[in-house]
Amino acid sequence: MTTNTYGLPAIAAVVLAILYPWYWGTAFMGTADFVQQFRHDLTTLGLSDALFVFIGVLEIYLYLSLRRLLADKLNLETARLALLLMAVAVGVFQATVLVDVFLALFGAGIAEGMIDLVLMNTAFVALAVLFVYAVFALMLSVSLLRSGRSVTAVLKVFAGLLIIISLFQITVVLSVFNVVLFPVAMLLLAFYFLRSQEMVEVV
């Protein structure tokens, strides 16, 4: 009898590929005034906040699962370190939802100027964390591409696409294209998980 150790991460990657463009596509294209939309999102609580957190949890889970797979299959310490750091960066980025909670509960008693300052600082921190995430993602991509034949073609394509995503993220302006590119990367990752299934012999 055999089992697929990485079936769940593959499913998570597909789910993330669906939810990511849905959430961020709405954020980028759902309104003509992105600043006003950002302000509204950070001062209210709703299903979008739950979706934001869920997307982050899926992303962290995928990076840690890929890290475990690389430990099982390959000797890629740099790539494994990069994946761990990426997971941490995503966790810090997701922690900005605490600002939503705080402003939704106590925002009514805070001056408008102070709320604007909180929003500006939150945006700055979020952009800084995303920049750091992009650097770690580049670190992962380069490590995978330099691994030669020990890395499959699918993972190399994933790494190449991740380089583009990371560079777009660093520019901020071009990061809007990641609404399309990131889901493609997740589908490649899902395929890699399925192809890399561990066959466990049960006696």
Instruction: With a cut of 60, say whether residue 1 has pLDDT above it.
Output: no
Helix (H) or strand (E) holding 10: helix 7-29
Angle between helices 7-29 and 178-195 (to 10 degrees): 180
Instruction: With a cut of 80, say whether residue 38 has pLDDT above it.
Output: no
Give the pair of three-digit tokens for residue 82: 């990069």
200 pLDDT tier (thresholds 50, 70, 90): very low
Quick one: pLDDT at residue 132? 97
Average pLDDT, the chain: 86
Instruction: With a cut of 60, say whether residue 31 has pLDDT above it.
Output: no
Domain ranges of the chain: 7-194
Side chain identity at residue 203, one-letter code? V
Instruction: With a cut of 90, say whether residue 75 has pLDDT above it.
Output: no
For the stretch 174-190, pLDDT in tens is 999 999 999 999 999 99
- Mean pLDDT, residues 97-121 taken together: 82
d(CA 88, CA 73): 23
